[in-house]
Amino acid sequence: MLVVTLLFGLFVAFNLWRMFAGKVAPAQAAELVRGGALLLDVRSTGEFAGGHLPNAKNVPVQELERRCDDVCHKQRPIVVYCQSGMRSATAARILRSHGFSDVHDLGAMARWPARH
């Protein structure tokens, strides 16, 4: 039982680390967007329709691989977000693998600074 509990704890810790590792600070994300970075929402179209950050573009992560050319030019900075941070991490990897070099993963939409 102890081994199962330890393994479960490691699994949870690993997933939390994956969600927050490599995330851009919220204030820095807002500054990037103010400076012209694209704010990319990778949640579903239904989630996006239910509410999103101002001026965000929606490309669901499931469509991103085939729609990379529709996102923006590859030199433009991109700040990507989703609901929890898992899909945005996946989207950041996809974008980088397609030659986008200035990609910043905000993670969860809730991390966006309230005053911006």
Catalytic residue numbers, as ranges: 82
Among 19, 24, 12, residue whose Cα is nearest residue 90: 19
**If you ran DSSP here, which 8-state letter would residue 99 be given?**
T
Q: How far apart are CA 113 and CA 29, in angstroms?
A: 9
Bridge partners (DSSP) of residue 39 are: 79
Q: What are phi and psi of 50, to 5 degrees?
A: -80, -5
